Amino acid sequence: MSEGHTYGFDTLQIHAGARPDPATGARQTPIYQTTAYVFRDADHAAALFNLQEVGYIYSRLTNPTVAVLQERIATLEGGVGAVCCSSGHAAQIMALFPLMGPGLNVVVSTRLYGGTITQMGQTIKRFGWEAKFVDFDDVDAVRAACDDKTRAIFCESIANPGGYITDLDAIAAVADNVGIPLIVDNTSATPYLCRPIEHGATLVVHSTTKYLTGNGTVTGGCVVDSGRFDWSANDKFPSLSQPEPAYHGLKFHETFGNLAYTFHGIAIGLRDLGMTMNPQAAHYTLMGTETLSLRMDRHVENAEKIAKWLETDPRIEAVTYAGLKSSPYYHRMERICPKGAGALFTIAIKGGYDACVKFVNGLEIFSHVANLGDARSLVIHSASTTHRQLTVQQQVAAGAGPNVVRISIGIEDADDLIADLDQALSKAVS
């Protein structure tokens, strides 16, 4: 691809990072199913291990198939680099790892996937880190939660499960004023619907398991670096600005500039945490990205039609889809996600918890699974599954109360999906 030419999203989702295989001419990126790589000689090996030369050492760190995916996602997000890993949860830990330390905290949104709330609220305590949960619709509260031990702000662009849209520009302004990075989980939106870096995000994380792969076959995660943060502006981020003992005092930011965070993610994060993406998973996700824009357009089209139908149904108390003009997030969607509000939202069903269980059990086309972003339409009752470990108060704050069902609209015929929802609601609410 020509240097200097600005390519469109549809072209980049197919070609970014990929080149014909030099050995065979294979046009599709091969699955490099190998553990290790032969060094040219002892000097070459030493240079690689000393970070003086870029190349392949061991597949826990780098792999040619995974490298193509990293470059593609970074390009689609408008970042300078990316590190892929084994899952979306792994990506979140990877994102925080260079920033945090014992006694430090991260300010996070109350509107997050239930597993992320548990990870942030419970698991990271084992590292001596703390999470402060705040309603991100209250920007002043986010600002007030930041203190001299805060090292990052974390939110989702389109929040799972409710489909709420975060005012990324406002939150980024808070992060800038405090001098810390904003980390945005862009899983539900994908870079096709939302580009967080353009709204001020420092880092973007993905569960590539979802829309980027799009077929429910493999798990994966990714951390994208905007390359715009000055890690040496103060002493808050010693892992990136100060000498690294494991590399003879090398300073990542001084040495690698705007790629410092990406190099650290590979040389330290993957080396020591070992949350590696396997090459076959990368291959499946690469194939998925090739049709991302086509799928997302259909996801949004179906979601808009179905949400409008649900909104008028007397068996439904509420629909949280931001693409509805009645949504308080509709105008924010036009600014943050101009191509649409995605395909993830919740419905509150009259009859409460029991009606939700009957509804889920009565569906035929929708699959009852703990996943989203598949080409298939999916459903789950969050309060009894993904958010079961939370208190009722936390469930409600996360948009996953006992009377709420999360729906991930697929790319099937919308009329067939409406018919399925209709018959299941009839079974649930009688």
Would you state the pLDDT for residue 397?
Answer: 75
Residue-wise pLDDT tens digits, 359-384: 999 999 999 999 999 999 999 998 88
Ranking 24-33, 260-269, 395-404 by mean pLDDT, the lowest is 395-404
Q: What angle do CA 354, 357, 359 make, to 5 degrees?
A: 110
Top CATH class, 9-288: alpha beta
Q: Is the pLDDT of residue 386 over 80?
A: no
Pairing of strands 203-207, 221-225: antiparallel
- Cβ-contact 411, 211 below 8 angstroms: no
Is residue 390 classed as helix, strand or coil in its secondary structure? Answer: coil
Would you state the pLDDT for residue 2?
Answer: 67
Q: Is the pLDDT of residue 426 over 90?
A: yes
- Distance separating alpha carbons of residues 52 and 182, to the nearest angstrom: 30
Would you state the pLDDT for residue 332?
Answer: 96
Q: Is the pLDDT of residue 392 over 90?
A: no
Residue-wise pLDDT tens digits, 17-49: 999 988 899 999 999 999 999 999 999 999 999
Residue-wise pLDDT tens digits, 60-86: 999 999 999 999 999 999 999 999 999
Would you state the pLDDT for residue 390?
Answer: 77
- Distance separating alpha carbons of residues 336 and 333, to the nearest angstrom: 5
257-291 CB burial, b ≥16 within 10 A, e <16:
ebbbbbbbbbbbbbbebebbbbbebbbbbbebbbb
Q: What are phi and psi of 91, to 5 degrees?
A: -60, -35
Report percent pLDDT > 70 for the chain: 100
Residue-wise pLDDT tens digits, 328-341: 999 999 999 999 99
Mean pLDDT of the chain: 95
Q: Is the pLDDT of residue 9 over 80?
A: yes
Q: Is the pLDDT of residue 53 over 70?
A: yes
Q: What is the mean pLDDT of residues 387-404?
A: 80
Q: What is the mean pLDDT of residues 233-257?
A: 96
pTM: 0.95
Would you state the pLDDT for residue 258?
Answer: 97
Residue-wise pLDDT tens digits, 86-111: 999 999 999 999 999 999 999 999 99
Domain boundaries, the chain: 9-288, 292-428
Report percent pLDDT > 90 for the chain: 90
- Cβ-contact 71, 82 below 8 angstroms: yes
What is the sign, positive or negative, of the torsion defined by CA atoms of 264, 269, 275, 276? positive
**Lookup: tokens for 245:** 């003992």
Q: SS3 letters for 84-138? A: EECCHHHHHHHHHCCCCCCCCEEEEECCCCHHHHHHHHCHHHHHCCEEEEECCCC
Q: Which fold has domain 292-428?
A: Aspartate Aminotransferase, domain 1 (3.90.1150)
Q: Cα–chain-centroid distance for residue 313?
A: 32
